[in-house]
Chains A and B, each alone.
Chain A
């Protein structure tokens, strides 16, 4: 077992002027661990995700990350160049709307290959075969490699976005409602695919969702947020089956049982 976490967050705060985005958030994320952040709209979960992924600047607190070279760095002290390098190599970000994470007017192969080219791969044949390999892994037929994602269905686009993120074998992937805009049957397929990829590759994931079924299926651990604060945290099945806090009980009792 690894003896060190991948990410250590202490006293993280993001204020929008005087309004609280999220406050007093502390946790550790371990290699291979999937952490679900749940709560309703406005609970601060998306703010937390965007702050941790350095898309927003924190107003207080630290988020220390164990870089690939074994050195701990506070994410908020990284230079823009270092942050952007992390973003396209060691991290992934899966957006709810695939169009936000894809280049819609270049082929699926180039979408997957972009990160490889960004880190200096200059062999077309290798880029293409890696792209085909990843398309297959996300269940997109190899003969769609030259098609543009705007000709793909919603589910395929989302799977392409995942392949595009995973091609550099990131250690940490941020996911913002990854199944949000999809039909139920398409969701199920995507969830199963994600579950398999995450456990096969041992990726750590911070997953923001309002869908407790998604959290149960994908995550090991859960953090419930309300009004910018973490109100309850624990093992996912414990939080869902024996919620302790009033808000968590409300959240759990509000879902339809299937």
Chain B
């Protein structure tokens, strides 16, 4: 079957217009969850149906698409979504952050700084940051409407009471432009500062929950915290075992069944790029 059997980027034009209207509203009200008529997609919920619909609504023939899952371009989810758009939109794809105009992501923000004109599309499982504390949707909507966000701090309080520090490490809640409380999707809190005043447009799609929200370029994004327990990002003891990078988010890779393991960049493109430039493991760390 040829790609011609589908409309450009799979969704019909009416649906794309509907999603674009939701996106415009989302951009106009940074951090506000806009309901949209999420469609059935040829993949299961939880595989990025929200992100795929947002991507489909904004992608054009000249776009260059990059898709990452947990920072990697070569995992099943990333490969299949990339292949999907290569087929139904016939767009160029890339694994290089700098070359992409449109990046769909699950769980990471690329290490390479994003630039003006780029769009980052997040796949969101649960858009409501207050959900686990307040199960009633009517109540959480009122809380957003009235900026009643004390409850979110109750969650952080519980973290400190239980663990001695704020133990939330991913989906760490943020306040957008001083107004709306927002769930940044399950990215590590390490990536939270990258959202702040980013020159790129950041779009969030939750397919199952039928919500879209956005952070326009150069928007204030502040991670919640307490005065005496300020927000901090994870720190890693050692640099990447492959490219020697420091100050980046690392994944633990198990090497054998004898406890052997190493920490490497979660952003595979960033790591490969550095190695291509000649960076390698830091010598001092190699002396075991």
Residues of chain A at the chain B interface (Cβ within 8 Å): 80-81, 84, 88, 103, 106-107, 109-110, 113-115, 117-120, 122-125, 127-128, 145-146
Contacts and interface: CB of A to CB of B under 8 A. Distances in A.
Contacts of A106: 133, 154, 158
A122 B226 contact: yes
Contact of A117 (B146, B157, B225): B157
A114 B143 CA distance: 14
Contacts of B228: 123-125
Given A124-B226, A124-B228, A118 B148 contact: yes
B154 A146 contact: no
Q: Is the interface of B mostly helix, strand, loop or mixed?
A: helix
B150 A110 contact: no
Contacts of A103: 133, 154
Contacts, number: 57
Contact of B150 (A107, A118, A128): A118
Contact of A113 (B146, B157, B225): B157
B265 to A, nearest CB: 34
B150 A117 contact: yes
Contacts of B150: 88, 114-115, 117-120
Contacts of B153: 117, 122
B161 interface: yes
Contacts of A88: 150
10 contacts: A80-B146, A84-B142, A106-B133, A107-B161, A113-B157, A117-B150, A124-B228, A124-B229, A127-B157, A128-B161
Interface of B: 133, 142, 146, 148, 150-151, 153-154, 157-158, 160-162, 225-229
A110 B153 CA distance: 9
Given A84-B146, A110-B158, A127-B157, 18 more contacts: A84-B148, A88-B150, A106-B133, A106-B154, A109-B161, A110-B157, A110-B161, A117-B151, A118-B150, A118-B151, A122-B153, A122-B225, A123-B228, A124-B229, A125-B228, A145-B161, A146-B161, A146-B162
Contacts of A109: 157, 161
4 nearest A-B residue pairs (beta carbon): A118-B150, A117-B153, A117-B150, A124-B226
Nearest to A146: B161
Given A80-B146, A103-B133, A122 B227 contact: yes
A123 B225 CA distance: 9
A119 B146 CA distance: 13
B142 A80 contact: yes
A163 to B, nearest CB: 15
Contacts of B160: 124
A114 B160 CA distance: 14
Contacts of B229: 124
Nearest to A105: B133
A115 B151 CA distance: 9
Given A106-B133, A122-B226, A122-B227, A81 B146 contact: yes
Contacts of A124: 157, 160, 226-229
A125 B228 CA distance: 7
A128 B157 CA distance: 9
A146 B162 CA distance: 7
Contacts of B148: 84, 118
A106 B151 CA distance: 11
Given A124-B157, A127-B157, A146-B161, A114 B151 contact: yes
